[in-house]
Amino acid sequence: LLERNYWKNYKQAGPFIHTVIDSIGYIYYSSFEDKITDEHLDIIIEPLREDSNIRGVIFDIRDNKGGDINNAFTLLKRMGVDTSFKLSAVLFKAFYKKGPERGDFTEAQTSYIEQSDKVKFPKRFVLLTNRTTMAEAALFATGAKGFTNVKVMGDTTGGRAGRIVGAELPNGWILEYPASYFTTDDGRNLEDGVLPDKTVHTTLADEAQGKDAILDAALEEIKSF
């Protein structure tokens, strides 16, 4: 549906599919397993910043099931407002299993977003998520929500942010359990998902008509500014 009805004249830069829809930059990133470099981001960001008609950016991580958290940090350094100041904000807090009892977890180990002077995505930024935005993709979503020019739209993300360990039992069964869990800075467990700022659902009727209701709503959101 996206390629047929929305991705007109799209280009690829590394793991990204990108195009412009109604003077709005659109970028699709399918998996955080795929390495992001500064060169990939420069190829996408610089033309958007140079085009005075660009009204904002939509970044689509729907159905992205995570991968390498380092890719999230690379992206987050390109978000927010342009600044030469070194600012930081909490991305997430991690708690790791340290003993056999239910509550045997370490103290919070905090990961920070370090603001940088790298060239940023321009203007308004809308991040698209759904129920199968999971693991490191969900961690990226919670980090993105910390920027004042970012709005998350779509559906609540999935979980799977914690590290899973397991073993095969003598009878052949596989036992798996979470060895860690993650929270937002205000204590919300990320297994419950990251809530969008604006919830939008896509129906079967929309799909039958070739419409992506979430993407359409994001386009209208940016046009409204």
CB atoms near residue 121 (< 10 Å): 23
Does residue 52 belong to any structural domain of this protein?
yes
Query: Does 43 have pLDDT greater than 80?
Result: yes
Does residue 167 belong to any structural domain of this protein?
no
Q: Which two tokens stand for residue 98?
A: 């340290």
Task: Report the candidate in 26, 20, 80 with the shortest Cα–Cα distance to residue 58.
Answer: 26
Partnered with residue 180 across adjacent β-strands are: 96
Among 59-68, 106-115, 120-129, 193-202, which stretch is predicted with the lowest mean pLDDT? 106-115
Does residue 17 belong to any structural domain of this protein?
yes
Residues 6+ apart with CB under 8 A from 124: 55, 56, 57, 149, 151, 221, 222, 225
- pLDDT recorded at residue 186: 82
Q: What is the SS3 assignment for 96-122?
A: EECCCCCCCECCCEEEEEECCCCCCCC
CATH code for the domain in which residue 125 is found:
3.90.226.10
Does residue 216 belong to any structural domain of this protein?
yes
Range of the domain at 203: 2-90+118-160+193-223
Does residue 53 belong to any structural domain of this protein?
yes
Query: Does 86 have pLDDT greater than 70?
Result: no
Rounded-to-integer distance, Cα 20 and Cα 28, Å: 12
Average pLDDT of span 76-89: 71
Query: Does 100 have pLDDT greater than 80?
Result: yes
Q: Which amino acid does the sequence have at 184?
A: T
For the chain, what is the domain count?
1
Does residue 181 belong to any structural domain of this protein?
no
Rounded-to-integer distance, Cα 176 and Cα 156, Å: 25
| pLDDT mean across residues, the chain | 90
Does residue 104 belong to any structural domain of this protein?
no
Among 39-43, 97-101, 151-155, which stretch is predicted with the lowest mean pLDDT? 97-101
Does residue 99 belong to any structural domain of this protein?
no
Confidence bin at 114 (pLDDT 50/70/90): confident
Is the pTM above the cut of 0.95? no
Task: Report the candidate in 31, 8, 89, 19 with the shortest Cα–Cα distance to residue 57.
Answer: 19
